[in-house]
Amino acid sequence: MDNDIILRVENLKKHFQPHLTFSQSITGAKKRKVVKAVDGVTFDIRKGEIFGLIGESGSGKTTTGKLVMKLIDPTEGTMTFQGEDVTHLEKEALKAYRRKVQMIFQDPYASMNPRFKIRDVLEEPLVIHKIHGDRNEREKALIKALTEVKMNPPEEFLGRWPHMLSGGQRQRIATARTLLLNPAMLVADEPVSMIDLSTRAEILHMMKDVQRDLGLTYLYITHDLSTARYFTDRIAVMYLGRIVEMGPADMIIDDPKHPYTKALIDAVPEPMSGKVGVIKELPISGEIPSPANIPSGCRFHTRCPYAVPACSELPEPELEDCGGGHLHACRRWKEI
Amino acid sequence: MSVNPATTRLGDFWTEFRRSPSGVVGLVLLVLFAAVAVLGPALSPYPEAGTSWRSIEYWQDEPANAPPAWTNLFAREKGAVSARLAAADSAAEEGEGYRVERASFAYDFSYDRPPLDLILHFRVDEPAPVSVAIERPDGRRVELVNSTVEPVSGEARISLDKEAGAAVLDFVRGIEPPEALERLDGSSLEPTAILFAEAEPGLTTAPRALKGKYRITLETIVVDGAEPASEPVPPRLAVVGRVSGLLGTDAQKRDLFSGAVAGVRYALLIGFLTALVSVAVGVVYGALSAYAGGLVDAAMQRFFEIMSSMPLLPFMIVLSAIFKPSIVTMIVLMVLFFWTGSVKTVRSMALQIKEETYIEAAKALGAGGPRILFRHIVPILVPYSFASMALAVPGAIVYEATVSLLGLGDASIVTWGQILHDALSGGAVLNGVWWWVVPPGLLIALMGMTFAFLGFAMDKILHPKLRTR
């Protein structure tokens, strides 16, 4: 089984140090509150699977994605990719890592330089990594990548500018750009959240086809449970920088153990007759607490409808297995 | 549908630019200046004014401190205008063992005040006997010169003012009564004043202009067999007038219009080069500072603050006094101080661009610092740079003029500032030689205004679009 694991993340933490204000730096006050965006996450991603990372805004899922992408350096913890430690990488090793791990960004309108034509956008990874020096070869690679993401006819798009394309088309181009490097893994940070509902399914479909064709592994980051179920093999639910539940997608959605997961699932609107008029009453209330001021004990207890004094007094619960690879971090899961 | 946004952006820019009247004025002036700079020598009577500004020989046939020719329009007594005449006809007469070469010039004198001098230029290879005569409209003929000339590098120059004194005195003797002749001081006699006056008593004291056609004949005797050492040059006659050219002449007999035209090139060169290099340096510096961030940014900003608080003028004056002042060192020095102008704005813009997702995307693709800086950040700053370049040009021109005015300019070229400096040291203001002071001053102001107008217009259009998209 161990050979199957492409990425192993252990106890990964990212703490941000806020800047001192002017008065603080003069008085030498040390009341800096560390923002614990990611506070010890552990997960494995198997080769060829689609791993979903789910959570509200502020749960640290995007930061986790950036850590995996190595856009930021972790404060603590280790990352192993294809059996090699990639926690801290030097310039050349980092460049090599980026050939294998690529990213699709949330906002397709912002992830391309508006002054680049589609051709320049697509050629950029090839130029950076000095692949296909020959012009014809490069042209062929671009056409192939565009065909892969179902941009037809591919030649027509090369001369266009990003602003001439729709969000869906841009996201296809963004995918094609990553595919040109032949990566082993793709980090997709909410790739469809900014796209029209009507094209979402199409894009996800395309991504799934690409994954099947090329044997890719995805780390799919989203706040949208409905696409997660459709798209992913396994899901990890994040809350305030920690994973609170993890397991096969069907198990998590159909039989959630953690009250937070339950609340998320309940919050999904259903566009069915008889139910549209009812705005659902959520079992949890309030906003996600500040990651600079994490509640003691179980970090969810401030919003948990089932919380008892023990939840805040006892130390933080660890993930435990309840069978079938389904892990959760709730002390009272049997009672609720 | 597939319209290149670069062209539409340019089109939009032009539509907006046209709406700014000062911008259009600036553009028209710039085109005019550029045309003058390109056509330069073709426009001015002295094409080599730019390189020969300090050559005494080049300007020897012009009057000193002569007002512009058009001042005749407002003058009660019209002064003769400087002119250069080619021979009206020339002939050669073969003798035994020698040849007489004859050239005659026709000069139509229709002014109230005679020219200051008539100067003949002609080719001779060896010392040769020469005679010059003038035929006046009243039919009198005066033999002016009959001597042997020594050629200087194949060319002889005869100034009638200097050479014809004795002949003119003879001419006067036949006309003036003896008592007038007694009072006459031969050395103070102005030959041209006599030659272009009515032949009547009082000729030397109160000459009346004799208008009409004059003919000046030059005869040279060339010994046969002497091989011509130089190319045959047609003889020519320079009339040194009382007024000269479009903008007059200065105390060193230089044609100021030619100087002003030659100055356009240097003003544009100094302005453009300084602005281009300093803005390019400033943009890269600001973008690099923003992109690097942290300690590097802090260090670069402190250095920038030190540089921008240093006064340029004292530095330029001291350095020009120490080193041999040249246009190159002057431009380098100005660049060293001017680059700070755009840094702060560029840095703040780059800080904003740096946070764009496409920069992060490029990083995720593996792009290194230089690529992100020069392919992604700097191109977006280019429109802003154009505006700040236009605004930096007048500063450079004025600084050069200031340093030149203090007499520390590049001696091998001519700039408006240097003309002004010469005017001040030549006492132009005290002597009322306004044509020496006003045109270069106005041109400096006009050139500055051109770029200020352009810069303001561009700045107004480009500023709301600073936000990258």
CATH number of the domain that residue B460 is part of:
1.10.3720.10
C-alpha triplet A72, A113, B469: angle, nearest 5°? 115
CA-to-CA separations, A324 to A247, B175, B409, in angstroms, rounded = 8, 138, 88
* Mean pLDDT value across residues B159-172: 85
Are B121 and B262 in a shared domain?
no
- CA–CA min distance A70, chain B (Å): 8
CB atoms within 10 A of CB B95: 9
In which residue are the tokens 């904003």 written?
A: B352
The full set of domains in chain A, from first to last, is 2-19+33-328 (3.40.50.300)
The answer for residues whose C-beta is within 8 angstroms of residue B45's C-beta and 6 or more apart is B245, B255, B257, B258
User: In this model, does residue B10 exceed pLDDT 50?
Assistant: yes
Which of residues B240, B266, B295 is at a domain's end?
B240
Return the higher-pLDDT residue of A320 and B25: B25
Report yes or no on B66 lying in a domain. Answer: no
User: In this model, does residue B465 exceed pLDDT 60?
Assistant: no
When mean pLDDT is compared across B266-270, B411-415, B447-451, the lowest value belongs to B411-415
Region of residue B176 (phi > 0: left; psi between -120 and 50: alpha; otherwise: beta): beta
User: In this model, does residue B29 exceed pLDDT 90?
Assistant: yes
In this complex, do B365 and A124 lie within 8 Å of one another by their Cβ atoms?
yes
User: In this model, does residue A1 exceed pLDDT 60?
Assistant: no
Q: Are B451 and B393 in contact (CB under 8 A)?
A: yes
Are B172 and B118 in a shared domain?
yes
pLDDT above 90 covers a percentage of chain A that reads 7
* Mean pLDDT value across residues A282-293: 77
Are B152 and B191 in a shared domain?
yes
Q: In terms of CA atoms, which chain B residue is nearest residue A160? A: B2
Please name the helix (run of DSSP H) or strand (run of DSSP E) that holds residue B98, with its range, or none.
strand B98-109
CB atoms within 10 A of CB A252: 29
Confidence of residue B1 (pLDDT cuts 50, 70, 90): very low
Reported as a single tens digit per residue, the pLDDT across A160-193 is 888 888 888 999 999 899 988 889 999 998 888 8
In chain B, residues with a C-beta closer than 8 Å to the C-beta of A160 are 2
In this complex, do B361 and A103 lie within 8 Å of one another by their Cβ atoms?
yes
Report yes or no on B58 lying in a domain. Answer: no
Report yes or no on B281 lying in a domain. Answer: yes
Are B229 and B279 in a shared domain?
no
Reported as a single tens digit per residue, the pLDDT across B208-223 is 888 889 999 988 887 7
Q: Which of A94, A98, A111 sits opposite B357 (nearest CB)?
A: A111
Return the higher-pLDDT residue of B181 and B432: B432
- For A142, the token pair is 């671009």
pLDDT of residue A278: 59
pLDDT above 90 covers a percentage of chain B that reads 21
Report yes or no on B408 lying in a domain. Answer: yes
User: In this model, does residue B32 exceed pLDDT 90?
Assistant: yes
Interface with A, mutate which of B297, B365, B382 (most A CBs under 10 A) = B365
Confidence of residue A29 (pLDDT cuts 50, 70, 90): low
Q: In terms of CA atoms, which chain B residue is nearest residue A128? A: B367
Which of residues B185, B215, B240 is at a domain's end?
B240
Are B408 and B373 in a shared domain?
yes
- CA–CA min distance A160, chain B (Å): 7
Instruction: Please indicate if any CB of chain B lies within 8 Å of the CB of A166.
Output: no
In chain A, residues with a C-beta closer than 8 Å to the C-beta of B367 are 124, 128
In this complex, do B365 and A110 lie within 8 Å of one another by their Cβ atoms?
no
In this complex, do A112 and B361 lie within 8 Å of one another by their Cβ atoms?
yes
Are B374 and B455 in a shared domain?
yes
Report yes or no on B176 lying in a domain. Answer: yes
Q: In terms of CA atoms, which chain A residue is nearest residue B353? A: A113
Are B403 and B314 in a shared domain?
yes
Reported as a single tens digit per residue, the pLDDT across B153-163 is 778 888 888 88
Instruction: Please indicate if any CB of chain B lies within 8 Å of the CB of A160.
Output: yes
Are B297 and B435 in a shared domain?
yes
Confidence of residue B469 (pLDDT cuts 50, 70, 90): very low
B 317-376 residues inside an 8 A Cβ radius of A = 356-358, 360-368, 371, 376
Burial of A280 (0-12, 13-18, 19+ CB in 10 A): exposed
Report yes or no on B321 lying in a domain. Answer: yes
User: In this model, does residue A79 exceed pLDDT 70?
Assistant: yes
Confidence of residue B194 (pLDDT cuts 50, 70, 90): confident
Which CATH number belongs to the domain containing residue B96 in this structure?
Answer: 2.60.120
Confidence of residue A28 (pLDDT cuts 50, 70, 90): low
Q: Look at chain B and count its residues.
A: 469
Report yes or no on B50 lying in a domain. Answer: no
B 378-437 residues inside an 8 A Cβ radius of A = 379-380
CB atoms within 10 A of CB A268: 12
User: In this model, does residue A134 exceed pLDDT 90?
Assistant: no
Confidence of residue B468 (pLDDT cuts 50, 70, 90): very low
* Mean pLDDT value across residues B366-372: 87
Burial of B288 (0-12, 13-18, 19+ CB in 10 A): buried
Are B159 and B275 in a shared domain?
no
Which of residues B240, B267, B295 is at a domain's end?
B240
Instruction: Please indicate if any CB of chain B lies within 8 Å of the CB of A184.
Output: no
Which residue segment(s) compose the domain that B19 sits in? Answer: 5-42+256-466
Are B263 and B228 in a shared domain?
no
Please tell me whether the overall predicted TM-score, pTM, comes out greater than 0.80 for this model: no
Alpha carbon of residue B187 to chain centroid:
37
Report yes or no on B61 lying in a domain. Answer: no
Total tally of structural domains belonging to chain B: 2
- For A1, the token pair is 């089984």
Confidence of residue B68 (pLDDT cuts 50, 70, 90): very high
B 2-41 residues inside an 8 A Cβ radius of A = 2, 4-5
When mean pLDDT is compared across A41-45, B142-146, B183-187, B423-427, the lowest value belongs to B183-187
pLDDT of residue B282: 93
pLDDT of residue A87: 87
Q: Which of B362, B364, B367 sits opposite A102 (nearest CB)?
A: B364
Q: In terms of CA atoms, which chain B residue is nearest residue A70? A: B364
Angle at which helices B294-308 and B256-292 cross, to 10°: 150
Reported as a single tens digit per residue, the pLDDT across B222-273 is 776 655 555 667 888 999 989 998 899 998 899 999 999 999 998 899 988 9
In this complex, do B366 and A103 lie within 8 Å of one another by their Cβ atoms?
no
Are B235 and B266 in a shared domain?
no
The answer for residues whose C-beta is within 8 angstroms of residue B298's C-beta and 6 or more apart is none
Confidence of residue B277 (pLDDT cuts 50, 70, 90): very high
In chain B, residues with a C-beta closer than 8 Å to the C-beta of A111 are 357-358, 360-361
Q: Are A39 and A58 in contact (CB under 8 A)?
A: no
DSSP codes of every residue in B369-401: HHHIIIIIIHHHHHHHHHHHHHHHHHHHHHHHH
Are B227 and B270 in a shared domain?
no
Reported as a single tens digit per residue, the pLDDT across A185-229 is 999 988 888 888 888 888 888 888 888 888 899 999 988 888 888
Q: Are A242 and A40 in contact (CB under 8 A)?
A: yes
pLDDT of residue B227: 59
pLDDT of residue B3: 46
CB atoms within 10 A of CB B234: 11
Q: Which of B358, B363, B368 sits opposite A113 (nearest CB)?
A: B358
In chain B, residues with a C-beta closer than 8 Å to the C-beta of A129 are 366
